[in-house]
Structure 1
């Protein structure tokens, strides 16, 4: 499942921990935005680890599932590229 993860973390130390943790699961594409290609088990694992780092009264995290059809329709203006894990491509 391809997901876009966005977050707003109030404390700089927590922000750094969340950012480092998310690098275990995906690729940062903008400040506080990651793209991840994970199965549901890994998504649950990621969320469990993130919740342990967050303050639920101050921080926010959103996970948007993106279907394959919608992913093909992503448009980029300016700099950037669509992240693709080449290990999953079939030639």
Structure 2
């Protein structure tokens, strides 16, 4: 996906060929966004996929994880669709 590469076997993420250390939750979010690249993924769907079977996380937990991903991978990689969810553009 452009400068971003995700290796599901190794659960590894790289940007421009440089490995990026991501947490398991960050990886789960990024994987779900990449799986549906080009489409808006609803917040509720991300929460369900990233925290399955767990109590619903605090209101800011998802935003905290997204912030971490943006800091590590680039601020413009994940787009916020206000009131709906997040989008990883196809490229």
The higher radius of gyration belongs to 1
Same structural fold, with TM-score higher than 0.5 when normalized by the shorter chain: no
**TM-score normalised to structure 1 length:** 0.35
Q: Which has the higher strand share?
A: 1
Q: TM-score, normalised by structure 2?
A: 0.35
